[in-house]
Amino acid sequence: LRVAPGAVHVPGWLTLDEQRELVVACRAWAMGPVPIRHTRLPRGGVMSVRTVCIGWHWQPYRYTRTADDVNGARVAPFPDWMVELGRRALVAAYEDPAAGDGYTPDTALINFYDGDARLGMHQDKDERSDAPVVSLTIGDTCVFRFGNTENRNRPYTDLELASGDLFVFGGPSRFAYHAVPKVHPGTGDPATGLASGRLNITMRVTGLDD
């Protein structure tokens, strides 16, 4: 389903087995080498979402190889199987067998939301690339607010992202404002391996070398 130019929602794209495997992988990354944490913001705030990164470590507002705001460790490498998953996601979303060609995501932010976690309106502009962002949801359903590229206010569209859903943000939608204003607790299927909460994986191309 096309939400805006370049923004495509594919409900139920991941199989239950794929969701289970992603939960296992994310659970391992959450333990280390850089443990999952509430990101501290430069002005003293703390995000309610917990995040662990692979490939590159995101900290507001840059990417580094080592998590100098957590424990100083180098983040886990971005696995080839996830590059392949990202390419398949673009093929599915854009219904074009060539859509994944040349797409090599090198970082993923893995966000965990408990029932009270929220993400305010923001743009993802710390990447030096306009390659698409691939977003995967597992667990509880959330309200996802998809805005415009001008400012954090209206017009925006609220939609629900449920377990297994794929969302691709490319083209003119890559730099749209967006938010997660609400998670609906208890809506996920425990068969994914996630007993509660929402897991979101976003693959990106940083545009950085080394």
Residue 36 within binding range of ligand MD5, rule CB under 6 A? no
Residues 59-78 that bind ligand MD5 (CB under 6 A): none
* Site residues for Fe ion per CB under 5 A: 124
Q: How far is the CB of 157 from ligand MD5 (least distance, A)?
A: 10
Q: How many CB atoms lie within 10 A of CB 46?
A: 10
For residue 120, give both structure tokens. 């305010």
User: Which one of the spans 65-73, 75-83, 91-99, 175-183 is the region binding ligand MD5 (CB under 6 A)?
Assistant: 175-183
Cβ atoms of 66 and 57 within 8 Å: the answer is yes
User: Which one of the spans 36-44, 84-92, 152-160, 169-177 is the region binding ligand MD5 (CB under 6 A)?
Assistant: 169-177
Q: Which is nearer to ligand MD5, 97 or 208 (CB)?
A: 208
Q: What is the CA 166 to chain-centroid distance, rounded?
A: 10
Among 108, 15, 33, 120, smallest CA distance to 70 is for: 33
Q: What is the CA 134 to chain-centroid distance, rounded?
A: 7
Pick what 93 binds: ligand MD5, Fe ion, none; C-beta below 5 to 8 Å, kind-dependent: none
Cis previous bond, 79, omega within 30: no
Considering only 67, 70, 82, 119, the residue that binds ligand MD5 (CB under 6 A) is 119
How far apart (Å, rounded) are the C-alpha atoms in residues 27 and 41?
24
Q: Which is nearer to ligand MD5, 76 or 119 (CB)?
A: 119
How far apart (Å, rounded) are the C-alpha atoms in residues 190 and 195?
5
- Residue ranges in contact with ligand MD5 by CB under 6 A: 109, 111, 119, 124, 133, 135, 146, 169, 173-174, 176, 178, 180, 200, 202
